[in-house]
Amino acid sequence: MTAKIVIAGSGFAGFWASISAMRVISQANKEDSIKVILVSPRPNVTIRPRLYEAKLDNMSPDISKQIAAAGVEYIAGKIEKIDSDNKILTINLVNGSQTTLTYDRFVLATGSQLAIPPVPGFYEYGFNVDTLEDAQRLEVHLQALKSKPDSHARNTVVVVGGGLTGLESAAEMPARLKAILGDNVNIRVLIVDTAPAPGAGMGADASLVIQQALSECGVESRVGLRVESIDNKSITLSNRECIESNTVVLATGVKANTLTEQISSKRDTSGRIISDSYLHAKAVSGVFVAGDTVKAPTDDKGNYNLMTCQHALSLGRVAGHNAAAELTGIPLYPYNQPKYVTCLDLGAWGALYTEGWDRRVCFTKNEGKRIKQEINTQWIYPPELGRDELFAIANPDYVIVP
């Protein structure tokens, strides 16, 4: 009988998990007895790290050729139910029907989504850049502003949340708005955060650089404040300040995909399953977790992966390898990724590149921007390669950031 490795999600983690699993199966000459099946709504990797940008071309490259070349089967659908006791998945197919699929090993790589706090108006009036559709909706709205009469509300964008996504969205926005509304319009862009300073979560040195960059880009900050409510023409803050704005962009953090709730394992406050170093969901057999659905140690110094593409690219390779290793009888590989970097796009000012968990500032402005552009246009894209070239870079110890 043929054994099955089913991988849920074709993001950064799921794509590499499927290639990595096939690599092990091919090396063991077990293609006839073990198959890898990738399940996701579309055979694409959405480049979520770039969705704060204005131009949204090539943000969801098709991976059909690569997975077919590697010998991965593909099912267009969404996993609806995980029965981990009986190793059965229920899948809602994109053609509207439902099917079930048994598995021998399952890799959950269904990512994350924006966590929207229960603030009045956020669901009805908030924009965001979490999915390609969300980012397109924001761009259509921004383009439509030019047909509205000139007003403070039209010319003002407020970004809620001063994490990396909020900072990148805000820093990009003045140039983006000017390109739409014209140079002579009195544009305002603000970032609102509960933290004491913009970028405070990145440490004192990085935060100072971020403050300088925001100010040079023309972004105002409102810190140490919560949002009380929003509607289609204003946003009210916890200090009672009311800012007229037709455009509030939510960058309020992410939580793991809700399928994690169907696996009876311990989860962290973001909903991620806490795994062992082989990326097993600890309390159930045959289930691996990768990307934004897992919390795993990156080293022996007490650091854990973050919900980043940088970590997902490695976690996927390790989870796919280990799922196939268990079925082929080779040793499992313990996930480790000691090097951690951050590259934050700060609009017209440039970009900030830091190294280490203490985020030492290494490159700023144009130097940082060159690295960011390389990351955003090359490093994170699924490479258009054939089977052997893909297998050559799908090893679990592949170093994502040299």
Ligand X SMILES: Cc1cc2nc3c(=O)[nH]c(=O)nc-3n(C[C@H](O)[C@H](O)[C@H](O)COP(=O)(O)OP(=O)(O)OC[C@H]3O[C@@H](n4cnc5c(N)ncnc54)[C@H](O)[C@@H]3O)c2cc1C
Binding stretches for ligand X (CB under 6 A): 8-14, 39-41, 48-49, 51-52, 78-79, 109-112, 129-130, 164-165, 257, 259, 291-292, 307-310, 312
Smallest distance from ligand X to CB 130, Å:
5
Candidates 188, 182, 176, 165; CA nearest to 141 is 176
128 vs 246 by CB, closer to ligand X: 128
CB-neighbour burial class of residue 322 (10 A; exposed 0-12, middle 13-18, buried 19+)? buried
In order of 18, 52, 92, 147, 180, the CA distances from 140 in angstroms are 35, 14, 30, 12, 11
234 vs 310 by CB, closer to ligand X: 310
Smallest distance from ligand X to CB 239, Å:
28
Smallest distance from ligand X to CB 160, Å:
14
Please tell me whether residue 210 adopts helix, strand or coil conformation: helix
Contact 78/92 with Cβ under 8 angstroms?
A: yes
Amino acid present at 132: L
Q: Is 365 left (phi over 0), alpha (psi -120 to 50) or beta?
A: left
219 vs 259 by CB, closer to ligand X: 259
Smallest distance from ligand X to CB 163, Å:
9
What values do phi and psi take at 356, rounded to 5?
90, 165
Amino acid present at 327: L
146 vs 360 by CB, closer to ligand X: 360
51 vs 327 by CB, closer to ligand X: 51
The C-alpha atoms of residue 27 and residue 330 are separated, in whole angstroms, by 11
Q: 283 Cβ partners below 8 Å, 6+ apart?
A: 263, 264, 265, 266
Smallest distance from ligand X to CB 46, Å:
6
Smallest distance from ligand X to CB 110, Å:
4
Smallest distance from ligand X to CB 25, Å:
21
Smallest distance from ligand X to CB 44, Å:
7
199 vs 237 by CB, closer to ligand X: 199
Smallest distance from ligand X to CB 370, Å:
15
39 vs 192 by CB, closer to ligand X: 39
Q: Concatenated DSSP letters for 131-196?
A: SHHHHHHHHHHHHHGGGSPP-HHHHEEEEE--SHHHHHHHHHHHHHHHHHH-TTS--EEEEEESSS
188 vs 311 by CB, closer to ligand X: 311
257 vs 265 by CB, closer to ligand X: 257
What is the helix (H) or strand (E) element at residue 243, kind and residue range? strand 242-244
Please tell me whether residue 90 adopts helix, strand or coil conformation: strand
Contact 187/178 with Cβ under 8 angstroms?
A: yes
